Every structure is written in structure tokens, then in C-alpha cells.
């Protein structure tokens, strides 16, 4: 990774937070309009919201704890180091770990991935990294709350396995072109 | 492991720089292979942010240990929270300082002591504060969209009937998985929100095939962020990757549900 992308990461990226409130505000606006047309149904919708919100409270508390513990031991620079390998089975395996440990929106990771690609990183590990961003240990409490342990274990294992297949496939395609 | 020494010159006979941020060069030594590389400090001529540029350079070069004359508390903190051991108060030539560090490390380098040193680094006040700050920021960045999704789920329950969904999701494995993957590909975002929506879909009677394909495509396929991915990683890579992830959602979703059915001893 180049110094440019590291400096960009160090300078922080908290500017997007304010804009993300537009979405819930817009949905609340829709509630307001629907209330004028159908107060009863809107009331039912709000009650359903409260039920979903309450059911999320406990898993979210676990999310905070796991997130804190992960942040205590994992840094973005650790993820960058894991992605440093250029190709091969080791690179694929390290990309799995890097993808799982990475946090934050994907847009924040594109500059780093672009840098790595410009410095010779292969397509396979990149694709594996992006796929494994779907596996988030700190969100597992919520997933388990909704779908249960067996489902989460089976799906997560198959996703990791699938990401490796994807990585190999992307390598083959890259070699052909 | 890469060791960096802040220096006044570009070789091992040079004197160690008194201040980290304004050192003219960094000598970066691979402690296992012994390879030496020299990096000019980009911050030495900077009006502001000299230390930050130097930190970025060292992290970019995968440095794990910094040997320097002195280092400001802010820079030390930045390096340590990124897993770099900072050793200050060093004077003399780079060669002397490196050998001294190696001797110190050998003298105190039993496995237990190293582990204790790492543990104390992880549990330092700075690190605890930084972890709490990051967690708070990450939670804060997830909350608005999650709140919006919860509100949408409420609207869905209040105004959309389950029968409407069943006109699209008929209960057949193939089409359900396909439409689930299509819906997940168009939408995108934090996996958390896909769990909430997926849970709601299950409550509305959709099959687990459709819900699993939906959640898989939600995070692995991103039509909305496709332009950004193309700009960063190239058109060929982005298109192939998204297409492959879309196709991969089918076997993974079907295999997940079938394995679960086998585990539960019942039909899918």
C-alpha cells in the first residue's frame, strides 16, 4: 500500500455520517403523509417498528461489545498487511481473513484496493477480500438472533468456501485475458 | 519484520535523527533477511503535518518497530495504535542503534515477555480509548440506515400484504432464489440491514432459499456501487466479479438450505 492511501485513511472519514440521516428522515416523512391518509394503518406500522426495534436491542448490545473487542486488537493497518501478498493460495487465505476483519463502508476501501492493484495485487485475492466483507463477526449476534446458530454456521462456512472458489475463478479469468 | 530508524543520512553509518518528524531519511531494515531500503521523509519539507506523512510512510512500508531519538506523544500514539513498537531515546549511528535494539530484544525477548508487552500495548489507555472511539463511530455510521430500514419494515407490515409478495415469490426453489438474488443485487449496504429485511421476508412467508440469496447478493453484488468499483478496480474486474457473485448466490443459498434440512432431519 502506498503512503497516499495510508495518509487518506489516517486523516479520517467521518464526513458521511450527517448525510446518512436523510434516509430515515425521508421514511419518517412518508409516515407523516400516510398518517394523513390512514392513521390506523400508520399506527400499526409504528407499532411494528417498535417491535422490530425492541427485538434488535439485545443483539445490538452484543454487536457493540464484539465491535469494541475487534477494534481493540485489529487496526486497518493489520488488514492492509494481510492484503499485501500478491497472489497464490497464501494470498487467498490472507484475503479471507482481511475481508472478515475489515470494517467500514466499501467506498473507504476502494482507494486502498486501487493502490494494491496498481502495485501488482492479483484479481483473485481482491475478489476474495470483497466477498468476505459479507462475513462480519461483530454482526453475528444479530444474524443468530434472526436465523439461529446452525444457519449462521452453515452459511458462513459456505460463503468462505465460495469466496475461495470465486478467487480461483477470477485468477483463471485474469490469466486468460 | 521491518525496523525503521529515523536518520540524518541514507546509510547505516549516519546519525540517528533527534526528532522523528523532521528526520531526513528512514532506513528500513528487514530484521530476518537483513535487506536495507532507504526512504526520504516526505514530511521533512512540509509546513504542516510532517509527522503524519512520516507515519503514513512507515505504515505503508509495513514497519513494525521504530527506533528514533524522540517522537511527539501524538505521533507515538498514532504509531502504537497501528501496531508499531516505538523505541525512543536512541543516539549514535543507525548501525549502533540497530545492534543495541537487537541485543535488548534478545535479552528480554522470551515468549512470555513479548506476549506481556503486546498485551500491555493492547490494553493501554490510548488503545482502549481509540477502540471505544472507533466502535462509537462505526455504530453511529450504521444507526441511521438501520433506523430507516426498521421504519421501512414497519411500513411494509402496515401497508403491504403478504399475498402481494407471494405473487413474485411463489415458493418454487429456482425462481424464488433468482428473485431473492435480484432484489439483493439492486439494494446494497451494511449486512445488518439485510438481516433485518431478510427476517421480515421470512415472517411474511418467503422461502429460506429466497431470503438467503437475497442476503448473499445484498453484500456481495453491488449495482449501486458498480461505477465506484469500476473506477477503482477496472471495468473487467468489477463486471466479472459482480456477475460471478450473483451466480454464486444460487449454489450457496441452495446448499445452505439443503444442509440445514439434512441437519434438522426434514425436507427443505
Chain segment B211-253, per-residue pLDDT in tens: 999 999 998 997 877 888 888 888 999 999 999 999 999 999 9
Bridge partners, B25 (sequence order): B7, B40
d(CA A156, CA A135): 7
Q: Cα–Cα distance between B63 and B65 in angstroms, integer?
A: 6
Q: For residue B113, what pLDDT is reported? A: 60
A136 pLDDT band (50/70/90 cuts)?
Answer: confident
Chain B residues in contact with A165 (beta carbon < 8 A)? 248
B106: buried, middle or exposed (CB in 10 Å: 19+, 13-18, 0-12)?
exposed
Q: What are phi and psi of B6, to 5 degrees?
A: -80, 125
pLDDT of residue B208: 93
Q: What is the torsion angle, in degrees rounded to the nearest 10, for the CA atoms of residue B259, residue B260, residue B266 and residue B268?
A: -80
Diameter of chain B measured on Cα atoms? 79
Position A12 confidence tier, pLDDT thresholds 50, 70, 90: very low
| Cα A135 to Cα B152: distance, rounded to the nearest angstrom | 24
Q: What are B63-89's pLDDT values in tens digits? A: 888 898 888 888 888 787 777 888 888
Q: Are residues B193 and B226 in the same domain?
A: yes
Which of A17, A77, A134 has the CB atom closest to B220's CB atom? A134
Q: How far is CA A28 from the centre of its chain?
A: 26
B265 three-state secondary structure:
coil
Rounded CA separation B235/B29 (Å)? 38
Run of H or E residues at B86: strand B85-87
Q: B162 and B65, same structural domain? A: no
Q: Are A90 and A60 in contact (CB under 8 A)?
A: no
Residues of chain B with Cβ-Cβ distance to A62 below 8 Å are none
**Residue B137 maps to a domain:** no
Percent of chain B with pLDDT strictly greater than 70: 90
The last residue of one of the domains, among B123, B152, B184, is B123
For residue B224, being part of any structural domain is answered with yes
Q: Are B160 and B113 found together in one domain?
A: no
**Which residue is closest to B195 within chain A, CA to CA?**
A143
Q: Please give the pLDDT value at position A78.
A: 66
Of the candidates A11, A80, A103, which has its C-beta nearest B138's C-beta? A103
Q: How far is B100 from chain A (nearest CA, A)?
A: 27
Q: Does the distance separating the beta carbons of A104 and B150 come in below 8 Å?
A: no
The last residue of one of the domains, among B56, B89, B123, is B123
C-beta of residue B86 within 8 angstroms of C-beta of residue B71: yes
B105, B206: one domain: no
B150 CB neighbours in chain A (<8 A) are: 49, 52-53, 56
Residues B84, B177 share a domain: no
Domain coordinates in residue numbering, chain A: 3-176
Under an 8 A CB cutoff, do B259 and A154 touch?
yes
Task: For residues B163 and B212, state if they share a domain.
Answer: yes
Give B43→chain A minimum CA distance, Å. 11
Interval A58-64 mean pLDDT: 83
**Residue B66 near residue B20, CB atoms below 8 Å:** yes
Residue A45 grid coordinates? 406500522
Residues 17-36 of A with CB under 8 A from B: 17, 20-21, 23-24, 26-28, 30-31, 34
Give the span between the Cα atoms of A112 and B32, in whole angstroms.
27
What whole-number distance in Å separates Cα of residue B244 and Cα of residue A172?
13
Residue A89 distance to chain B (closest CA, Å): 19
Q: Which residues, numbered 55 to 114 in chain A, qualify as contacts with chain B under a Cβ-Cβ cut-off of 8 Å?
A: 56, 63-64, 67-69, 71-73, 75-78, 80-81, 84, 103-107, 110-111, 113-114
d(CA B12, nearest CA chain A) in Å: 23
Residue B96 has pLDDT above 50, yes or no: yes
Note whether residue B16 is domain-resident.
yes
B95 falls within a domain: yes
Q: Which of A12, A40, A45, A57 to mutate to test the interface with B (most CBs of B within 10 A)?
A: A45
Query: How confident is the model over A24-29, as a mean pLDDT?
Result: 92
Calculate how close chain A gets to B159, using CA atoms only, in Å. Answer: 7
B95 & B174 share domain: no
Shared domain for B164 and B209, answered yes or no, is yes
The helix (run of H) or strand (run of E) holding residue B174 is helix B173-186
Give the domain extent around B16: 2-123
Distant-in-sequence, close-in-space partners of B262: CB < 8 Å, separation ≥ 6? none
Please indicate whether residue B82 or residue A69 has the higher confidence score (pLDDT).
A69
B-chain residues near A21 (CB < 8 A): 144
Q: Per the structure, how many domains does chain B have? A: 2
Please indicate, yes or no, if residue B212 is contained in any of the structural domains: yes
Amino acid at each position: 500500500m502506498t503512503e497516499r492511501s495510508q495518509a487518506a485513511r489516517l486523516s479520517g472519514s467521518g464526513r458521511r455520517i450527517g448525510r446518512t440521516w436523510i434516509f430515515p428522515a425521508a421514511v419518517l416523512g412518508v409516515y407523516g403523509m400516510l398518517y394523513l391518509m390512514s392513521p390506523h394503518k400508520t399506527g400499526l406500522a409504528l407499532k411494528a417498528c417498535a417491535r422490530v426495534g425492541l427485538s434488535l436491542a439485545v443483539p445490538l448490545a452484543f454487536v457493540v461489545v464484539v465491535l469494541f473487542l475487534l477494534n481493540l486488537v485489529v487496526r486497518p493497518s493489520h488488514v492492509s498487511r494481510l492484503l499485501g501478498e500478491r497472489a497464490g493460495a497464501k494470498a487467498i487465505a490472507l484475503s479471507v481473513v482481511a475481508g472478515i476483519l475489515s470494517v467500514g463502508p466499501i467506498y473507504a476501501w476502494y482507494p486502498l484496493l486501487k493502490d494494491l492493484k496498481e502495485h501488482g495485487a492479483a484479481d483473485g485475492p481482491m475478489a476474495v477480500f470483497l466477498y468476505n466483507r459479507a462475513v462480519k463477526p461483530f454482526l453475528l449476534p444479530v444474524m443468530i438472533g434472526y436465523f439461529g446458530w446452525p444457519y449462521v454456521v452453515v452459511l458462513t462456512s459456505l460463503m468462505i468456501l465460495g469466496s475461495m472458489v470465486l478467487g480461483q475463478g477470477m485468477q483463471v479469468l485474469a490469466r486468460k485475458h | 519484520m521491518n525496523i525503521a530508524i529515523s536518520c540524518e543520512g541514507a546509510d547505516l553509518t549516519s546519525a540517528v535523527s533527534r526528532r522523528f518528524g523532521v528526520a531526513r531519511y528512514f532506513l528500513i531494515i528487514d530484521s530476518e533477511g537483513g535487506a536495507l531500503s532507504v526512504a526520504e521523509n516526505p514530511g521533512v519539507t512540509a509546513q504542516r503535518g510532517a509527522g503524519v506523512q512520516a507515519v503514513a510512510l512507515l505504515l505503508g512500508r509495513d514497519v513494525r518497530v521504530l527506533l528514533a531519538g524522540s517522537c511527539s506523544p501524538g505521533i507515538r500514539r498514532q504509531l502504537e495504535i497501528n501496531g508499531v513498537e516505538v523505541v525512543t531515546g536512541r543516539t549514535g549511528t543507525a548501525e549502533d542503534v540497530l545492534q543495541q535494539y537487537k541485543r535488548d530484544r534478545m535479552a528480554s525477548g522470551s515468549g512470555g515477555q513479548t506476549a506481556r508487552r503486546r498485551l500491555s500495548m493492547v490494553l493501554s489507555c490510548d488503545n482502549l480509548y481509540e477502540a471505544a472511539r472507533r466502535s462509537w463511530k462505526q455504530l453511529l455510521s450504521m444507526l441511521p440506515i438501520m433506523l430507516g430500514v426498521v421504519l421501512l419494515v414497519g411500513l411494509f407490515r402496515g401497508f403491504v400484504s403478504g399475498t402481494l409478495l407471494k405473487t413474485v415469490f411463489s415458493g418454487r426453489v429456482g425462481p424464488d432464489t433468482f428473485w431473492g438474488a435480484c432484489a439483493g443485487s439492486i439494494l446494497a449496504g451494511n449486512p445488518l440491514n439485510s438481516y433485518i429485511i431478510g427476517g421480515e421476508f421470512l415472517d411474511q412467508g418467503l422461502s429460506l432459499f429466497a431470503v438467503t440469496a437475497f442476503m448473499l447478493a445484498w453484500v456481495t453484488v453491488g449495482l449501486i456501487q458498480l461505477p465506484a468499483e469500476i473506477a477503482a478496480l477496472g471495468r473487467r474486474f468489477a463486471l466479472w466479479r459482480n456477475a460471478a457473485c450473483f451466480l454464486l448466490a444460487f449454489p450457496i443459498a441452495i446448499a445452505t438450505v439443503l444442509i440445514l434440512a439434512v441437519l434438522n432431519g426434514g425436507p427443505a
